[in-house]
Structure 1
Amino acid sequence: MNKRFLSLFCLTCLIVEAISTRCIICHLRTHSDRCRRGFGVCHTKKNESCMSLKIFLNNTLQVLYTVCQKFCKNLTYDFHNRTYVHECCDYNSCNYRL
């Protein structure tokens, strides 16, 4: 009975892995550098997608933040001479491009 349960569990894990999207996690990345904090991978769950938040100053990228985000929405807004671009996507590693 335990072997049957283990086999079923493994199969379920593979199916979940196959249908989820793999997103890159990075809590601090600059345009000229690699990820400095929180680098990793997350897999989307129900109602999640890959999200990136880019912060620009004078049209120059200052910071990039990426993660899996629930109920993600595409937004762009300006605040204190900075432009914030919040983007959502749903294919593997789509949130890590500059």
Structure 2
Amino acid sequence: MTALNLKIEKLCDELRETASKRDGGAWTTGSCVVGRDMASGLEQAKNIIDAYNFTTKKTEAVHCQELAALIKTGANEYPYHDSEGYAAGTMVQLAYDIKNIGGNDTN
């Protein structure tokens, strides 16, 4: 596992913890799915991360930009019911956080 993988895993762990704290917390709908939807979105993002090829000789910034773009695309194509947007929103947040790991260096 590379240093970048560890940084991304830490971001996933932080979002997973947030999701677990919000489990059962959708006051307006009564369905209490916030944490569950966040966890589902995170699982979809993890599938994208797991399929990504970190072994190519690219800079950390390029890996982060590519991975963030893939996760954002995945959020737009989220295959399950997500009427409140918590699953896709979690994916977009993770993409944003991953992109920020790499900074702005794209060389």
Taking structure 1 as the reference length, the TM-score comes to: 0.23
Q: Name the structure where helix makes up a greater proportion of residues.
A: 2
Taking structure 2 as the reference length, the TM-score comes to: 0.22
Q: Name the structure where strand makes up a greater proportion of residues.
A: 1
